[in-house]
Chain A
Amino acid sequence: MFNRLTATLLASTLLTGTAWAETTIKAVMHSGLRVLDPVITTAHITRNHAYMIYDVLIAQDSEFQPQPQMADWTVSDDKLTYTFTLRDGLSFHDGAPVTAADAVASLQRWAQKDAGGQIIMDRTASLESTDDKTITWMLTEPFVPMLDVLSKQSALPPFIMPARVAATSADEAITDYTGSGPFRFVEAEFQPGLTVVYEKFDDYVPREEPADWMAGGKVVNVDRVEWVNMPDVQTAVNALSGGEIDYIEAMQVDLIPLLEGDPNIVVETREPTGMQTMVRMNFLHPPFDNQEVRQAALKAIQQEPVLAAMVGNPDYYQVCGAILGCGTPLESATGSETLTEGGGAEAARAQLEAAGYDGTPVVLMAPTDMVALATQPVVVSQMLREAGFEVELQPMDWQTLVTRRASQAAPAEGGWNVFITNWMVPEISNPISNPMLNGRGDDAWFGWPTDETIEGLKESFIDAADAETQVQVAGEIQAHALDAGLLIPLGQYTLPQARRTTITEMINSPVPVFWGLQKTE
């Protein structure tokens, strides 16, 4: 009897021991996941989710260079034919092999939504699978940034899905979440806005190169990753301190002191380029339909006070006049001296007077429910007032703002003059994908500038024969964009991540990824 009991206890202990051996990462991401289709939305949390369960043909490394991921490529001498060859061992989570037909269908759906994809499609003669492993993409004219667009990591990366899933209309969300990425989505445990669970995809074959940003081998060393949404960062901080979670993707800088004395926790900047915050003006209505007034606004604003109010700790922000971001290959500071160094207020007042500004109130929309956007409007409005603008700061929730910014009506009739928003630097680091640099009037991003010069400069960028010429054209784009007032960059900032020391070897990529890392108990 005793022996049987002992054996039973021993067996149950061993079984329990096996269960404990599963390595689980509990992470609090910057927001809850609700939309699961990475083509229908540009939301970062959906993109992050997509990087977990899908893979991409080619990916960007830390030098912003495209590298092979699912496929290697060759380019014909005339630069008109791109041939991608899928590597061996690729399979979807349902066991089916990844074929070139899947990739072609996914690229076609992606290109209906992505601005860069649309530009490529405008130059596409044919896109087809020539055999199970080969994708042949023929262009009508050379398109130098082709690989940059296909390897970009944000808004929108071309994730590869099964052809049956990619057959879904690009305006409707997919309902089948079969991917071929390093993790498998556990649909049964998904609670929108609350919890997402991923399990290691055992059949995933990583590349042999070391991981570098989104490129290289995606070696998974944990069995399970759980994203738990905690809308209150203080709760997440408490949970991290208590050891209930392993990782917080984005910390509020003012909460960092709570964790600094804890030897079990590391607070760090994952990726230094971070985010850009910026002003967008409405070109359709006075006073910003006047270029001189827009230039006066540019001169009136200085970045440092905005960033100090927004972030507070200088370790986590930097003044940066580059519209394509500082720390990027196309960085240029031309025309941003007053923004970064100040001293433009007098000139702003003089220019405003010369422009014949008649005191028309400027409606500045100020979202109060978004921590990352709440302070900038207050500081910017005061700077504009000091330069002589009449500013009407209108507090509202973010949803009201996103609805109202789509209105082309006059500000007094429900429209607007100015709002402020933030972007991840990698997603605005290229003139083709940067929405602020769209000068096609009604088809442009909110603010609707009609600007043939910027469109011409973008064409020159696309047609540039080499990287050196691209940098030169990017400099011209920078100078023109600030002169025309397409945007006013307010600087760059990072939101540090916090992790328990049991998590090591995290990859310092702009997108938080869960391959490569190790967890020790």
Chain B
Amino acid sequence: MLGYILRRCLAVIPVMLLVAVFVFLLLRLTPGDPAAIIAGDMATPAQLERIREAMGLNQPLHVQFATWVGRLLQGDLGVSLISNTPVATMVADRIGPTLSIALLTILMSVAMAVPMGVLAAWKHRSVADYAVMTFSVLGFSVPVFVIGYLFILVFSLKLGWFPVQGYKPLGAGLGAFLSNAFLPALTLSTIYVALIARMTRANMLEVLGEDYIRTARAKGAPERTVLFRHALKNAAVPILTVIGSGFALLIGGVVVTETVFNIPGVGRLTVDAILARDYPVIQAMILLTSFLYVLVNLLIDLSYSIFDPRIRY
């Protein structure tokens, strides 16, 4: 197991290196000029040129790349070209809201979706099954910003239960955090509930048709034990994969939801940086996201062995 983890960790190095080269080149090949953003519309070409020079954007690509990688190896993500703020500070400020809302979304999604999926499979072709499937189709189909605005209209503006926008960290108190984070998490949950519920249902249906389920029932095991100990545990591996991928996607940033609820997360940071061609921030965000994807995938792979003892590393 330890050897496997070590091998997977070592494999991260060439992956990250490739990502770094690819991101750097892709950004430099994309048209755009951070100096133009800084200087504003009235700047003359000569003024722009002087700003480019001061920012080091006139240096040859390989020099810029070497400087960036050199700093990266020392743990320095650089400084934003636009705001002159250390990128590490910007990311640190933004990762909290994204991580906490991603976690809350996944918790809410799993709490709702797994029982729904189990119920749909257990009561196959019943009203409950059709209801779960209808909800799933809706969850997939309705754009997330529509759901967000709908929730704001009903729960914030009409009922006044939650604030319209903004984010409060856990440090401000659990109540304040949940008050701000609940609606965005609920909005994001709709698609993940739909996804996880469908996946749970499909896998549970398959497992419930297995011989050992019939055996368990024949020996008089309670239905709850059959469903949750025998069936769900065996159906868990693909469900875990979906949950893990979903979490990684959420960490990568959910721009629309962050925009609709005005959450200062990494999604907006990345999009703003792309629009302003703030190279150090974009590079840092893509590297960070890639690293988190690799890490989450590793954790998912490792968790398989908990649910399926046949899997050994």
Contacts and interface: CB of A to CB of B under 8 A. Distances in A.
Highest count of chain A CB atoms <10 Å: which of B46, B85, B164, B259? B164
A32 B272 contact: yes
Contacts of B156: 238, 242
Contacts of B202: none
Nearest to A404: B31
A171 B32 contact: no
A397 B54 contact: no
A445 interface: yes
A399 B260 contact: no
Contact of A171 (B33, B44, B50, B268): B50
B44 A41 contact: no
A228 B33 contact: no
A83 B121 CA distance: 87
B291 interface: no
A421 B41 contact: yes
A81 B101 CA distance: 63
B38 A193 contact: no
B54 A399 contact: no
B277 A399 contact: yes
A399 B39 contact: no
B236 interface: no
Nearest to B34: A399
Contact of B276 (A34, A191, A230, A235): A34
Interface string B15-39: 0000000000000000111001111
A421 B43 CA distance: 14
B10 interface: no
A452 interface: no
Interface in B251-273: 259-262, 264, 268-269, 272
Contacts of A235: 164-165, 259-262
Interface residues of A, number: 54
A155 B41 CA distance: 9
Nearest to B51: A171
Interface stretch (B61-69, B76-84, B240-248): B76-84
Given A241-B157, A406-B48, A42 B277 contact: no
Interface in A183-214: 191-195
**Of listed A228, A232, A442, A445, residue having the most chain B CB within 10 A:** A232
B155 to A, nearest CB: 11
B164 A239 contact: yes
A193 B272 contact: yes
Given A35-B83, A231-B259, A403-B36, A155 B31 contact: no
A502 interface: no
A175 interface: yes
Contact of B33 (A406, A438, A442): A406
B42 A40 contact: no
Contacts of A399: 31-33, 36-37, 275-277
B308 interface: no
The residue among B42, B163, B164 with the most chain A CB atoms within 10 A of its own CB is B42
Interface in A159-190: 169, 171-173, 175
Nearest to B52: A171
Nearest to A170: B50
B82 A34 contact: yes
Given A235-B260, A244-B164, A42 B40 contact: yes
A113 B48 CA distance: 11
Given A244-B166, A399-B277, A443 B44 contact: yes
A369 B275 contact: yes
B275 A397 contact: yes
Contacts of A195: 264
A227 interface: no
A434 to B, nearest CB: 10
Contacts of B82: 34-35, 192
Given A231-B259, A397-B275, A400-B31, A35 B38 contact: yes
A394 B81 CA distance: 28
Interface of A: 32, 34-36, 40-43, 46, 113, 115, 155-156, 169, 171-173, 175, 191-195, 228, 230-232, 234-235, 238-239, 241-242, 244, 369, 396-400, 402-404, 406, 421, 423, 427, 435, 438, 442-446
18 contacts: A35-B38, A40-B39, A173-B84, A175-B84, A193-B83, A193-B268, A231-B272, A232-B259, A232-B262, A235-B164, A238-B152, A238-B156, A239-B166, A399-B37, A402-B32, A402-B36, A435-B44, A443-B46
- The list of the 7 closest CB pairs from A to B, nearest first, reads A42-B40, A192-B83, A399-B32, A42-B42, A402-B36, A242-B164, A400-B31
